[in-house]
């Protein structure tokens, strides 16, 4: 009897989860529900119960949901999220607490005047950028001479797309401009930076002219694309098949 109840509970839980995924994906037996159903069916009864307990009890333990941005028909948009959220009673907006605005009494933080959308953002790349990128400016012992990118033992000083996006979305554009310019693979702006530091003891990224064509990695990509028979241009430059003379 217990086995039959557990089997029925497994079928009900799996069906409810797959139904939610299909509603978000706007199709029956979609990509996400098919993958999740296959995974849940592969679990033993003990593993299934333990998994569902984690879903119930752990706030940050959730089902993954893959989105194909090229498939507009089956990618959930804001209206779809609102509809599904309303059906299942899932709040999409909430008040935000700001404990740091009341440091003397953090137990009674300031609260936002209006509810705002509930969003999850990645914070680890920013912490990693702050704590672990000290080698970025100095660890350039192993550099690809063709592309100007850091390789080998100095690879810890490379810069990822996620970190670029993090700096862009937090409006740290001058920092991004410096990290991807004179402190990366742009020897022209790097020379200007070192000269300014030698002359004045400090550096301002906005005081020099950083040009796209001076970045070795972009020029390398441009050459590869031209070699494939494509006409390529960065910025306001005219389309061309050959490398610039200057």
How does pLDDT run across 101-136, given as a tens digit for each residue? 888 888 888 898 899 887 766 555 555 555 554 444
| Nearest by Cα to 217 from 148, 163, 158 | 148
Burial, 60: exposed, middle or buried (Cβ in 10 Å; 0-12, 13-18, 19+)?
exposed
Distances (CA, A) of 68 to 19, 26, 33, 74, 120: 19, 13, 14, 8, 19
Task: Name the domain boundary from 80, 105, 135.
Answer: 80
Give me 80's structure tokens. Answer: 């779809």
Coil, helix or strand at residue 117: strand
Q: Is residue 115 part of a domain?
A: yes
Q: Is residue 75 part of a domain?
A: yes
Structural domain of 201:
124-227
How many C-beta atoms lie closer than 10 Å to residue 23's C-beta? 18
Task: Provide the phi-psi class of 98: left if phi over 0, else alpha when psi is between -120 and 50, else beta.
Answer: beta
Q: Return the minimum-mean-pLDDT range out of 29-38, 69-78, 149-158.
A: 149-158
Q: Is residue 32 part of a domain?
A: yes
Higher pLDDT, residue 31 or 146: 31
Q: Is residue 245 part of a domain?
A: no
Can you name the residues that pair with 94 across neighbouring β-strands? Answer: 116
Question: In this predicted structure, what is the pLDDT of residue 19?
Answer: 94
Higher pLDDT, residue 196 or 161: 196
Q: Is residue 223 part of a domain?
A: yes
Section 217-228 average pLDDT = 79
> Does 154 have pLDDT greater than 60?
no
Coil, helix or strand at residue 96: coil
Q: Are residues 23 and 111 in the same domain?
A: no
Question: In this predicted structure, what is the pLDDT of residue 169?
Answer: 80
> Does 187 have pLDDT greater than 50?
yes
Section 11-29 average pLDDT = 92
**Are the C-beta atoms of 205 and 183 separated by less than 8 Å?**
no
> Does 138 have pLDDT greater than 60?
no
| Whole-number average pLDDT of the chain | 79
Which residue has 């199709």 as its token pair? 27
Domain count, the chain: 3
Q: Are residues 110 and 139 in the same domain?
A: no
Task: Name the domain boundary from 80, 109, 144.
Answer: 80
Question: In this predicted structure, what is the pLDDT of residue 240?
Answer: 55
d(CA 137, CA 158): 10
pLDDT band at 175 (very low <50, low <70, confident <90, very high): confident
DSSP 8-state assignment for residue 238: P
């Amino acid at each position: 009897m217990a086995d039959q109840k557990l089997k029925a509970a497994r079928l009900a839980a799996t069906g409810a989860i797959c139904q939610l995924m299909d509603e978000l994906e706007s199709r029956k037996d979609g990509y996400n529900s098919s993958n999740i159903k296959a995974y849940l069916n592969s679990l033993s009864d003990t593993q299934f119960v333990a998994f569902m307990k984690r879903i119930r009890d752990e706030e940050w333990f959730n089902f993954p949901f893959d989105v194909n941005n090229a498939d507009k028909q089956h990618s959930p948009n804001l209206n779809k999220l609102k509809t599904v959220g309303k059906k299942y009673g899932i709040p999409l907006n909430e008040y935000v607490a700001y404990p740091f605005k009341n440091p003397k009494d953090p137990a009674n933080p300031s609260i936002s005047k209006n509810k705002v959308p509930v969003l999850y953002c990645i914070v680890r790349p920013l912490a990693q950028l702050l704590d672990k990128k000290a080698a970025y400016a100095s660890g350039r012992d192993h550099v690809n001479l063709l592309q100007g990118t850091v390789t080998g033992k100095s690879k810890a000083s490379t810069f990822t797309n996620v970190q670029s996006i993090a700096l862009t979305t937090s409006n740290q554009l001058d920092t991004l401009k410096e990290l991807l310019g004179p402190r990366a693979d742009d020897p022209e702006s790097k020379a200007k930076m070192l000269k300014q530091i030698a002359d004045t003891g400090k550096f301002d990224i906005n005081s020099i002219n950083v040009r796209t064509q001076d970045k070795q990695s972009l020029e390398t990509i441009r050459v590869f694309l031209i070699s494939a028979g494509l006409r390529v241009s960065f910025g306001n430059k005219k389309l061309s098949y050959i490398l610039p003379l200057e």
